[in-house]
Each structure stands twice: as C-alpha cells, then as structure tokens.
Amino acid sequence: MTTHPALERAGVAAPGTPPVTPPAPPRSRPLAGPLELLLLGRGSDPDSERGVDCPGALPPASDPTLVERARTARAALGDSVFVLGHHYQRDEVIAFADVTGDSFKLAQQAAARPEAGHIVFCGVHFMAESADILTGDHQQVILPDLAAGCSMADMATAEQVEQAWETLADAGLAEGTVPVSYMNSSAAIKAFTGRHGGTICTSSNARRALEWAFGPARRGERVLFLPDQHLGRNTAVLEMGMSLDDCVVYNPHRPGGGLTREQLRDARMILWQGHCSVHGRFSLGCVDEVRARIPGITVLVHPECRHEVVTAADLVGSTEYIIKAVDEAPPGSRFAVGTELNLVQRLANRHPDKTVVFLDRTVCYCSTMNRIDLPHLVWALESLVRGETVNRITVDPDVAAYARKALDQMLALP
Ligand code: 13P
Ligand code: SF4
C-alpha cells in the first residue's frame, strides 16, 4: 500500500514504510520514553490510562443469576446512584445504564446529576476522570473495572506533552499556539490544556473547538491537537477548509517531534502522533470491498478513522451522529458502519428492516471498553449496597482545577 503524497508530506507513512526524520533542533533534556508494555488488567501505572489491577471478589461470569443480582442491587440503590453507559459498552451493561451517550453527552450528563451520590461510569478511565472533575465534592465516580483504559489516551503522556510545549517555546512559537485536546486524554493532559488557555473537544464538537481556537476568542496562529491525529486532520481538512500541507505530525519519540522549526512555524495544525486502535484498523480496502459486495451501500464512519477512509466514505460523524443517521434512515437503507462493533451490532439488531454491516470483515471490539462486563457491574453495585465504594476514580485537586477550566471551555463552546 502507498500513501497519498500530501499525507506523506504531512508525516503519515504507509504501514511498513520506514519513517523519514528531518533535522531536529538540539534538545537539552532526554526524551520521555515510550510507555513500558503492561498486560491488560495486570500491573499498575497510576500515571497513565493503562490497565491496572482490578482486585475485586467478582462474581463468576457463569453465575446464572447475574442479571437478577444487578436488577436487585440497582433497585435497592434508587436515585442515589446514576449509571452512565458509553455506546461502545456491551449490551449486558447498556441494559443497566440510566443514560447512554457518546463522550460529550456523558460528560454533560455527569455534570447535570448533583443529586446522585455515586456515578457508576460504564466507559473508560478518561471518561470517569472527566466525570469526577465535572461533579461535586459530595459525589463519587466509580469505574467498574480499573483495567478499562484507552490506548489512544496513553499515546500522549504529560511529560511528553510538556516536552513538546518546551520545543514550541524554544522556537518562539508557544505564544501563538492553542492546545486543543480530545476528550480521549488523561486528566493531566486536560490540565495542560487548561493551563495554556486551550479547550477540550469531542468528535461531536471538534469543528467548533477549532473555530474557537482560530477565531476572535483566541486568535491562534496554529493549534496543537492532542492526541488523535486523525480527528485533528479530518476536522481541519474536511470541515475547516485547510489543506493537508497545513498539517504536520509531531512524533513524541523523536527529538523536537521530528519536525524543524520552520515546519512547526508554518503549520496551522500540529497533530500529535496518536490514533485509536479500533478506528485506525479500517482501511481503504475495507471501503472498496464493501462497495463491491453490497451495491448502493452507504459507508458511514467515525472521524477517528484514517483520512483516506473518511475521504472515501459517504458520511462522517461522531457516535451520536452515526446512531441518528441509521435510526432516521428509511426502511431498506443499507449501511456499512466504521466504528466500534458493540454499537454497530446494536444498530443492526435495532433495525431488522435495514441492512447494517460492520465496515471491516474481522471482529473489532474496543478491548478496553469491553473490560466492563456484568460481573464487574454487579460487583460495583452490590458493594455500594453494602456501603462500600470500590474502584473510585479521583483526580488530584490541582490537576482537576486546570482540567476543569479546559472542560468548561468545551461546554461553553458556541
Ligand atoms: P465519541 O464518544 O466522542 O464518539 O468518541 C468515540 C470514542 O472512541 C470513545 O472512546
Ligand atoms: Fe480508546 Fe479507541 Fe477504545 Fe475509544 S474506541 S476507548 S478511543 S481505544
């Protein structure tokens, strides 16, 4: 497979292509190294989004009374508990969610429930952190399995991002640069964003976030977009009218991000070299294959997909957009959907009068979203019934204050 020349110039190599390193400015301190490999659910690393131990006395997955136990515990807890479920969660978990949504809607919902003493977040770690930041001191946020992290969020550590900012400052470019960070990032990255006058965004408001950053409110010369290069590039090029040449990719594993001062200065979008391991799997080949197999099919993808996939698709949008597009289509419509499989399967089941297929031929669940299952949910709820809070997610107050600034800026976007 070859890469489009403009994408190549923007730093996106075809799989298997050895990367080209341009000359880089000298650096005074060593690069933050890549994260050590941790087996999912084993070992611990509180500074990252990665899998950590979840040492609970979980009920066995084979227990035939799990659904009943979840119902009983849920009923006993009443309004004191609010259960949030991201659309990528398993059906067995979604069945117990008081509200389902994408990451933007769930952040709003968490902030709007001051009466609930406990928020049980069926999603991943960065979402639970955001909920803790947005809720009051009297509320506690629970993540039923601490191993539910996000590989994309792990691709930008606070240390690496501080180094990148130092590189921009050394080049005299930090002042004109506005950080815009995807919700899929650690609380520490959100705090960095707030400290430097930036905003958080999600896939449903990324365009508004960029308009804000470049518009009269901030008058940014360029944006440092963290950590999903694809959402940043797709929004800049397809929604903001920028060209691929306006984008450069900052590689945190190379001195100076692998970019020259001139490249950083001339860029309008400095895209962090991160991606989603689920959406990054879809390829142009998948699109061609499904179009050949199912004539007249509408290809509908999430903007975390690679640029060539999004460009080849018919419709692009956030998780909520994808759901609306399928829900509102007339009977007989045909969709190939490029997003997480739990959601695609749910849409297919909900619409037997429509054709809904997964864009890739191979199974592609988000392994960390799938960590939350019925045994973990039952364990979390039954523990609350006993007056015990397990797997509480807390964010350091200093980090939370700046992260909140960036989250509030997102919630206030026009
Ligand atoms: P949204 O919920 O914003 O669509 O993001 C998708 C995702 O990958 C969440 O982890
Ligand atoms: Fe992270 Fe991608 Fe999974 Fe979302 S789908 S939690 S971005 S790995």
Mutate which of 202, 230, 323 for ligand 1 pocket (most atoms within 8 A of beta carbon): 202
- Is residue 43 domain-resident? no
pLDDT at residue 55, rounded to an integer:
65
Strand 222-226 with 269-272, pairing: parallel
- Is residue 27 domain-resident? no
Contact 307, 287 (CB under 8 A): no
Mutate which of 102, 364, 365, 366 for ligand 2 pocket (most atoms within 8 A of beta carbon): 366
pLDDT at residue 220, rounded to an integer:
97
In angstroms, the CA 360 to CA 282 distance is 6
Which tokens in the block code for residue 12?
């996106």
- Mean per-residue pLDDT pooled into runs of 10, the chain (414 residues): 42 38 42 50 50 72 96 97 97 97 90 94 96 94 93 95 98 98 96 98 96 97 98 98 98 97 98 96 96 97 98 96 97 98 97 97 88 96 96 95 96 92
Assess whether 240 and 164 both reside in one domain: yes
Q: Bridge partners of 121? A: 84
Q: Helix, strand, or coil here: 101?
A: strand
pLDDT at residue 107, rounded to an integer:
86
Please tell me the number of the ligand nearest to residue 321's CA. Answer: 1
Assess whether 97 and 167 both reside in one domain: no
Assess whether 172 and 226 both reside in one domain: yes
In angstroms, the CA 316 to CA 105 distance is 18
Contact 360, 336 (CB under 8 A): no
**pTM attached to this predicted model:** 0.88
Residue that finishes a domain, picked among 217, 243, 276: 276
What number of residues does the chain have? 414
The binding site for iminosuccinate comprises 86, 103, 182-184, 203, 302-304, 319
Contact 269, 248 (CB under 8 A): yes
CATH number at residue 124: 3.40.50.10800
If you measure from the C-alpha of residue 148 to the centroid of ligand 2, how many angstroms do you get, rounded to a whole number?
10
Looking from the CA of residue 127, the nearest atom of ligand 1 is 10
Please tell me the number of the ligand nearest to residue 200's CA. Answer: 1
Which tokens in the block code for residue 100?
């389902």
Looking from the CA of residue 126, the nearest atom of ligand 2 is 6
In whole angstroms, what separates CA 274 from the centre of its chain? 11
Q: Nearest to residue 46, comparing CAs of 149, 118, 135, 137?
A: 149
Residues 6+ apart with CB under 8 A from 9: 244, 245
Residues with CB under 6 A from ligand 2: 88, 124, 150-152, 184, 276-278, 340, 366, 368-369
Looking from the CA of residue 88, the nearest atom of ligand 2 is 5
Q: Bridge partners of 260? A: none
DSSP sequence for 109-153: HHHT-TT-SEEEEES-HHHHHHHHHHS-TT-EEE-S-TT---TTG
CB atoms within 10 A of CB 14: 11
- Is residue 284 domain-resident? yes
Mutate which of 184, 279, 341 for ligand 1 pocket (most atoms within 8 A of beta carbon): 184
Assess whether 144 and 226 both reside in one domain: no
What DSSP element (H or E) covers 379?
A: helix 374-385
Q: Bridge partners of 101? A: 86
Domain containing 84 equals 66-148+370-395
The count of C-alpha atoms lying within 13 angstroms of the C-alpha of 412, restricted to the half-sphere facing its C-beta, is 10
Quote the number of domains for the chain.
3
Q: Residue of the nearest CA to atom 3 in ligand 2?
A: 366
